Structure 1
Amino acid sequence: MNIASTLLLAVAMSTDAFAAAVGKGAALHRPHLREALRTGLIFGIIEASTPLVGWALGRAAAPYVESWDHWIAFGLLTLLGLRMIRSGFGTPEPETQKPERHSLWLLALTGFATSLDAMAVGAGLAFIDVNILSTAATIGLATMVMVTLGVMVGRFLGAVAGQRAEIGGGVILIVIGSVILAEHLGFMR
């Protein structure tokens, strides 16, 4: 996987976290930069860890599925992309009473929920030639930045913009899956 694909993957993986962060920012009463950085750090650490777990699980299965690994990567990325697009077209959640700060456990749980797709992507990446440590670090860093920004602008953008970002992230995942498949089938050399 080249640098451009890695960066696109990192952005795509961080869009659902961005969407959640926009919602978290919109749910807070005037979020401060410190709270945004805290939220970004929590999400970033979780989002960087889950592809490593997925990759390790995928590597364990790699010898058994080597001849069709590109189809697995394509299938996983396409399914995740479609899920993100479907979620992006869903109905935004209604506003609730606005707290000053979110609890660590709520942020960790939300961060984990939005990173499950990164675990599946990590499993898919186990079947292609990729430096998983740099890819996971890039995903984590992109998520930290996107979540921090999402919290800060959440009160201005609201849930609709967050959902549109998730749609874009889903499209990017499908494109990356298609490129991986095209490269392995010899259409792109």
Structure 2
Amino acid sequence: MTTAKFITFLLLGIGLSFDSFAVSVSCGLMKREIKFKQATLVAASLAFFQAGFPVIGWLIGEALKNLIASVDHWIAFGLLALIGGKMIVEGIKEDGTLKNFDPFKISVLIGLSIATSIDALVVGLSFGFLEIPILFPVLVIGSVTFIAAMLGMLFGKNISAKRSHQSLIIGGIILIAIGLKILAEHLFMQAT
């Protein structure tokens, strides 16, 4: 392993972890009383999917690369918009319904993890096509994502907000913005 390859994989891990960091900030905004065990669960889920999707992509190979690349941005946008929209709706309700939305609920956590990891699937496909060994990049991507997610939740829970329903609205807007960013990047790339 050369230094240049290590730096490349590290930068790739950092780039792929931005969405996970933003999702973690949203989780910290919504659950200010987050415990270390909960934060570890969220970070581990995000890191697991972020590291696992390149392996899946690598195994799928070049045959399906174009098919997945043509819809990955729509899948990510749809998942993030759905979860973000639900957060905004819950945040608008002022009658104690905030307790109904739980970012630590397994189905929500898995949805967030998948939505933020779809780009990593395409990266794995390109690794498979280029015959790049997958183990080291996956370890770097997973480690960087775990650290970024833990820092994101710490940052999110320390942002002051007057009321928790306002935090839900902010978190929902952040998730929808991430989805729009993914969509815009891919649509812009297709146009050029």
Q: TM-score, normalised by structure 2?
A: 0.62
Pick aligned residue for 2:43 from 18, 32, 40 = 40
Pick aligned residue for 2:142 from 118, 140, 143 = 140
Aligned residue runs from structure 1 range 3-152, under 5 A: 3-58=6-61, 61=63, 94=88, 96=91, 97=98, 102-152=104-154
Q: TM-score, normalised by structure 1?
A: 0.63
Counterpart contact for 2:27–2:171, Cα < 8 Å: no
What's the secondary structure of 1:127's corresponding residue? Answer: helix
Residues 128, 36 of structure 1: alpha-carbon distance in 2 compared, 3 angstrom cutoff: same
Q: What fraction of aligned residue pairs are identical, expressed as a percent?
A: 24
Per-residue displacement from partner, 1:10-54 (whole Å, max 9, x unpaired)? 111111111111111111132222221111111111111111001
5+ long unaligned stretches in structure 2: 92-97, 160-169, 187-192
Q: How many residues align?
A: 150
Counterpart contact for 1:29–1:100, Cα < 8 Å: no
5+ long unaligned stretches in structure 1: 66-71, 175-189
Q: Which amino acid aligns with 1:155?
A: K
Give the deviation of 1:130 after TM superposition. Answer: 2.1
Q: Which amino acid aligns with 1:147?
A: A
